[in-house]
Structure 1
Amino acid sequence: MKHRTHDRQYLWMALVVLGLSSAIVEHVPGVRPLTEAAGRALTPVQTALTRATARVHGILGGSRDLEALNAEILRLEDENARLKTDNLRLASLQREVRDLRALMDFRNARPDLDLMGTSIVGSVAGWEPGHLTRSVKLDVGASQGVKTRMTVANHRGLIGQVIRVSEHWSDVLLITDPTSAVSARIDRSREAGMVFGSPNGDLVMRYVPQNQADMPPKIQVGDLVFTSGQSQRFPPQILIGQVVDVRQDDYDTFQEAVIRPSVDFNALETAMLITAWTAPLDADAEDTAVAPSPAVPAAGRGAARPTGAAGSTDR
């Protein structure tokens, strides 16, 4: 590389000398023919040098264009990242608006319920003695009027029940928790039973009587399951889920079914606290085990208080 640089310097110096010599001898008589011959001889060299110079200028100009292009690419990448962030925010806002509209529709469809809007601010999955606890945390607490045993739901269905209350937050035991039990009714057949949580997060409906010969099945795949409202713990007609499997044994008095929850417990963001509701007077003795919720009006609190399985939610 260094050798080529020296050669080019010598070539440029030679051309300069030749140019000066040509200018000097231009005015010497009898020399013009010689200079013309020399010019003709040097024409290819001059042409090559001119082309090389043009290429150098082109490379330098291209380098400047490349820098500008790289700067534009960086600017467009930043703009693209900003637009992606804006799109994510917009999608989040759209989901929030959709959920809020659905909650408003739920409120309008259930004038028998006193509802308080809230947001899910965290989920908890931890061990307590003997079982896995599944719960979520709400951003409202005692200062907003929240009390233990209040029902929590959203437009998709039943979520759970408040189990702990602090000044500004509260914990909700999910219906998928193994200690949860909810009195329920099959929408098609009107058969009653109990829906329990399980360690693997499934819902299981038990205590449904066996089918009778020549009669429609009491429970079948595809049936929708709602709260029965007979326990004074949960309002009636809140969707719990859909039957996806039925288990029957001829020697058992009852059959049971696996229920797919209508609520996606992995994507909870908003919910409604049911602060009060009108309980039926003919409360079902089978699934009411403790005093009614403080949220239940006086008319519901006067119902009998039967016993039930300890540790269940709907009791």
Structure 2
Amino acid sequence: MFFKDFIPKIIRIVIFLIVCGAGLFLIFGGLKDFKALSYGERLALKIGGPVSKSAALSGLNLRHFFDYYLFLVGVKKENELLRQRIAYLEAELAKAREAQLENERLRKLSKIIDQFETSSPVVARVIGRPIISWQGIIIIDQGLKAGILPEMPVLGKTPFGPAGVVGQVIGVEENYAKVLLLTDPSSAIDALIQRSRERGLLRGRGPNKCILDYVSAEADVRENDMVVTSGFDALFPKGLLLGYVSRIKAGRSQGLFKPIEIKPAVKLDNIEEVIVLRKVKLK
């Protein structure tokens, strides 16, 4: 029984020693010098190398990903700053352009002002308009402080150069004034057809349109005739440009008079500056 139990133990010990020896041989036995790798090391590198390489590459890619992400964040912030800078510069450019356009308009107005020097003209900016276009009223930024009073004539620049009638002052505050446009239905200005000297009453008919009332049906009137103030209403000096005959309706109006449509000389829908004549000298 002893030999039966002892022999298997010896066999197991021998097998264990053989395995350990083979392992040591694989690790150290194959080395010919210290610079060469053993079979075991080569085997370990062969198995673990790809795994290590994959792990190293994964770590490198992760680092590149974070570097790229941080780069994109920086680019986004830089782009936002550039957009803000561009918006600021565009706003400044628009402001400078507006100032340039205003200076150009004022230079043109200055030539008109010289023609009315004896009337002590005042330049004012249009700062308000009614929402309803049929209300022919504007608000200007000059008032009692500038010597402006009700019934003073208000002029504007025309596309052709000379001044044209805008309307008249109807209300005044310390720093503001309300102007009734000649196109408002409540406006009425004594007028003449300059060429034929036919007289009539210019009345407002809404946006960019007037009508010349009380002109004889037999009067000499033609399209594009110039219409000016007559000076007979004690409000407007004589000879101020009102507009041009745009249409002569066929037939008669109210039996004795010819219906005549007038186009105002001043573009009232986009006017930005006006001239107020403070001293009216009738000729």
Q: TM-score, normalised by structure 2?
A: 0.74
2:270 to 267, 270, 291: 267
Are 1:225 and 1:240, in contact at CA under 8 Å, matched by a contact in 2? yes
1:56 to 59, 62, 79: 62
The CA deviation at 1:190 is 4.3
The CA distance in 2 between the partners of 1:36 and 1:138, in whole Å, is 96
Letter in 1 for 2:215: V
The CA distance in 1 between the partners of 2:51 and 2:226, in whole Å, is 94
The CA distance in 1 between the partners of 2:117 and 2:193, in whole Å, is 23
Corresponding residue SS for 2:259? strand
Higher strand share: 1
Matches within 5 A, 1:28-39: 28-30=28-30, 32-39=38-45
Which position in structure 2 is the counterpart of 1:285? none
The CA deviation at 1:232 is 2.7
**1:243-299 Cα shifts (integer Å, max 9, x gaps):** 33221205843322222323333333321111124312xxxxxxxxxxxxxxxxxxx
2:193 to 167, 186, 194: 186
Which position in structure 2 is the counterpart of 1:219? 222
The CA distance in 1 between the partners of 2:43 and 2:150, in whole Å, is 111
Letter in 2 for 1:62: Y
Shift in alpha-carbon separation, 1:89–1:176, aligned structure 2, 3 A: same
Letter in 1 for 2:261: V
The CA deviation at 1:73 is 1.6
The CA deviation at 1:45 is 3.3
The CA deviation at 1:181 is 1.0
Q: TM-score, normalised by structure 1?
A: 0.67
The CA distance in 2 between the partners of 1:48 and 1:168, in whole Å, is 81
The CA deviation at 1:148 is 1.9
Which position in structure 1 is the counterpart of 2:209? 202
Corresponding residue SS for 1:208? coil
**1:93-143 Cα shifts (integer Å, max 9, x gaps):** 1232122112101112344543122222323578xxxxx753223333333
Matches within 5 A, 1:76-115: 76-111=82-117, 113-115=119-121
2:75 to 69, 73, 79: 69
Which position in structure 1 is the counterpart of 2:246? 244
The CA distance in 1 between the partners of 2:106 and 2:46, in whole Å, is 89
**Aligned-residue CA RMSD in angstroms?**
3.0
Shift in alpha-carbon separation, 1:197–1:44, aligned structure 2, 3 A: same
**1:64-90 Cα shifts (integer Å, max 9, x gaps):** 111001101211221122123213322
Letter in 1 for 2:240: I
Which position in structure 1 is the counterpart of 2:154? 152
Corresponding residue SS for 1:53? helix
Shift in alpha-carbon separation, 1:57–1:224, aligned structure 2, 3 A: farther
Corresponding residue SS for 2:39? helix
Letter in 2 for 1:233: L
The CA distance in 1 between the partners of 2:179 and 2:128, in whole Å, is 10
Percent of aligned pairs with the same amino acid: 24
Shift in alpha-carbon separation, 1:211–1:35, aligned structure 2, 3 A: farther
The CA distance in 1 between the partners of 2:276 and 2:216, in whole Å, is 33
1:253 to 252, 256, 260: 256
The CA deviation at 1:62 is 0.5
Are 2:26 and 2:39, in contact at CA under 8 Å, matched by a contact in 1? no
Corresponding residue SS for 1:255? coil
Shift in alpha-carbon separation, 1:200–1:236, aligned structure 2, 3 A: same
The CA distance in 1 between the partners of 2:197 and 2:54, in whole Å, is 99
Are 1:210 and 1:218, in contact at CA under 8 Å, matched by a contact in 2? no
Letter in 2 for 1:30: G
